[in-house]
Amino acid sequence: APGVYQLASLLVELDTSDEASRILCADALYQMGHVEEAHKLLLLALSRNPQRSPILARLALLQLKKGFTYDGNQLLKKVIRIGDTSCLLPIMDIFKDEDRKLMQTHCHFRALTILKDRRED
């Protein structure tokens, strides 16, 4: 992760508009345990492109990790509304095991709640 971070940082310096390098940088920071720095970098990337599902999904995980369930839910809803959920599976490979389980459990229980509410309606 440190080598990936250094390379991605250099790429960002060469082209400040390179979103892929910013995301790679944030992923490396996350892997190194620098969650707050990754969060700030993702927020910056989101400010440039507020409809990017890969950024929103990563931010959702970080919000859930911090215990901000409502914020995490809102970000996941945005990903679903955009319709580009294809980013979720590759992102799951990046997440640490404990965070992957957190995201899977959270999404599973939210889906069950939605289904239950629809049945009652």
Rounded to two decimals, the pTM is 0.80
> Domain 1-118 is classified in which CATH homologous superfamily?
Tetratricopeptide repeat domain (1.25.40.10)
Place of tokens 């190194």: 32
Element (H, E) at 42: helix 35-48
| pLDDT tens track for 86-99 | 888 888 888 889 98
Question: Per-residue pLDDT tens for 52-73?
Answer: 899 999 999 999 888 898 998 8
Return the residue matching tokens 């080598």: 3
Q: Domain spans of the chain? A: 1-118
Q: What is the pLDDT of residue 94?
A: 85
